[in-house]
Amino acid sequence: MEKKVIKTDADYSAALATIERLMDQDPEPGTAEANNLELFALLVQDYESKRFPTSIPDPLTAIRFRMEQQNLSPRDLVPYIGSRSKVSEVLSGKRPLTLTMIRAIHSGLGVPAKVLLRDRGSDFTEEDNNIQWDRFPIRELVKRGWIAAKATDVGDRAQELMQRFFAPIGIPNLVAARYLKREHIRSARTMDRYALATWSARILIRASERPSPEFKPGTVNLEFMREVARLSWSAMGPLLAREFLEAHGIELIIEPHLPRTFLDGAAMMSDAGRPVIGLTLRHDRLDNFWFVLLHELGHVSKHLAGGIESFFDDLDTSSLNDRKEREADQLAGEALIPASEWAKSPAKSLPSPEAAEHLAKELNIHPAIVAGRIRYERRNFRILHQVVGLGEVRRLFPETRWS
């Protein structure tokens, strides 16, 4: 069916049939079919609101009715929605349904797709209508090749260009509004939210292009993180880590930060239910790479399933006032160098390359990690600079454009 404004009951019936067909295909987020599904859902919603605004129940009413019919508790919705906290937020109206949730509820509980898809409109807020498209860093995106356009055309085509940019991961206005509201940012400096939204989308767009196995919740724990840390022994360790994570359904994307974002890394959850870690390599050092990676894995382990879908970290900033950031720091530190090993190591009191190499050999990790810990503990970042792997990370990712 051609995508057009629905004007008649015949158009409406055809659109519903198209939605049902697309739902049966279970399209992957970011594909043309998934985008068509969202577009048809919005067209249907618009028609329903004008034609019979009260005849179709809202999604939450329909879900609660089905729970009552089948004697289901909120816990019974976890397989369809993802976690007990997400179930609570959905049922209280604090979290909109994602397409992944909608597909699961439609398939598992038999709630009609046309009812569930009405909730997609709840992502459109007044702020969506107030997006200032010219505030996105479009000239920088053209420079980096993220957008195909001439620099001279940018001024008059801001909305068109940015909508084209966001389109691979959903309806452009919805995506832009969603990513402008990122929830958890660790930084002492004010980040440009338009630049941050753009970088976030770029990471998720690249992740959507890379097929990975299904992620199993609970996979990332302390031992898993230590296994990742032990890959650092190799000069190719960052590449080995990326392969290891992808094999477990976690995407690792390297993308330089945009101006006025001050980012080291981020942990996000895609609509497909896969964790995505983005690293900027703002500091091109091995010790920094491994700590940032393990910090973001700490968020995957402890926080991504807890109702927050994204964390953005400037790790030059202290975590003292943020419990979740402290937890991620502590888990990363324990995975890299266990507290018990640090306490008895000469490296704790002797800031020398030999001490760093001795402990690294015992733990089967790269000496740069130990050197970074020594520098951090002593708050002296001028020592051991020859051990921290300066300039040893970006060169491993030649496909990334470094400015």
* pLDDT score, position 57: 65
Q: Are 273 and 82 in contact (CB under 8 A)?
A: yes
Spatial strand order of the sheet with 275-279 comes to 184-186, 310-313, 265-269, 275-279, 251-254
Question: How far is it, in rounded angstroms, from Cα 26 to Cα 35?
Answer: 12
- What's the one-letter identity of residue 217? P
* pLDDT score, position 116: 78
Question: How far is it, in rounded angstroms, from Cα 141 to Cα 277?
Answer: 21
Question: How far is it, in rounded angstroms, from Cα 104 to Cα 85?
Answer: 17
What SS3 class is residue 268? strand
Question: How far is it, in rounded angstroms, from Cα 225 to Cα 222?
Answer: 5
What is the per-residue pLDDT across 15-48, written as a single tens digit (0 to 9) for each?
877 877 777 676 776 677 777 777 777 777 777 6
Kindly provide the b/e burial profile for residues 42-78, where b requires at least 16 CB atoms within 10 angstroms of the residue's own CB: bbbbebbeeeeeeebeebbebbeebbeeeeeeeeebe
Question: How far is it, in rounded angstroms, from Cα 277 to Cα 79?
Answer: 24
* pLDDT score, position 125: 41
* pLDDT score, position 367: 97
Among candidates 223, 199, 397, which has minimal Cα distance to 312?
199
* pLDDT score, position 183: 66
* pLDDT score, position 38: 75
Locate CATH 1.10.260 in the chain. Answer: 9-123
* pLDDT score, position 111: 82
* pLDDT score, position 56: 56
Helix (H) or strand (E) holding 362: helix 353-363
CATH number of 9-123: 1.10.260
User: What's the length of the chain?
Assistant: 403
What DSSP state is assigned to residue 256? Answer: P
Question: How far is it, in rounded angstroms, from Cα 228 to Cα 230?
Answer: 5
pLDDT along the chain (403 residues), means of 10: 67 78 72 77 71 63 86 87 83 77 80 69 46 90 88 77 85 73 80 93 91 87 97 96 96 95 92 89 96 97 74 88 91 97 94 95 96 95 94 93 75
Question: How far is it, in rounded angstroms, from Cα 317 to Cα 187?
Answer: 6
What DSSP state is assigned to residue 390? Answer: B
C-alpha dihedral (156, 157, 162, 164), degrees to nearest 10: 180
Helix (H) or strand (E) holding 313: strand 310-313
